[in-house]
Amino acid sequence: MSWHVNPPELLRSLHAERLWRVPTREKKIYLTFDDGPIPGVTHQVLDILNQFKAKATFFCVGENIHKHPEIYQRILAEGHATGNHTWSHINGWKSDTRK
């Protein structure tokens, strides 16, 4: 069972401020993709979404939009939503957090 679907009670209690469940009878999911647009990967995702007539939100990195404007335009042309995911996404695993 996925933690995203049914997180353990301990995890929920440690993060009680988070919204863990929304009572609903609707059968909907919300798809989001981060860090694009990226050649190859974003095209594959768009093709799959198109195959299932599904929409998603793409949180894009400004530098990637600048490098690949045609992919960004495809995202918009196919009716997906976009959001800002910074101009230049740093690699958090390689960033020094000591100040």
pTM, two decimals, is 0.70
Higher pLDDT, residue 84 or 16: 84
| pLDDT attached to residue 3 | 45
The structural domain count of the chain equals 1
56: in domain? yes
* Residue 17 belongs to some domain of the structure: no
Q: Which residue has the higher pLDDT, 68 or 12?
A: 68
Kind and range of the H or E run holding 67: helix 62-67
Range of the domain at 80: 27-94
Least confident range from 34-43, 53-62, 82-91: namely: 82-91
Q: Is residue 76 part of a domain?
A: yes
Residue 5 has pLDDT above 90, yes or no: no
For residue 2, pLDDT beyond 60? no
- Residue 87 in any domain: the answer is yes
pLDDT of residue 39: 95
Mean pLDDT score of the chain = 87
Q: Report if residue 11 sits inside a domain.
A: no
Residue 31 covered by a domain: yes
Per-residue DSSP letters for 2-52? -TTTS--HHHHHHTTTS-------------EEES---TTHHHHHHHHHHHT
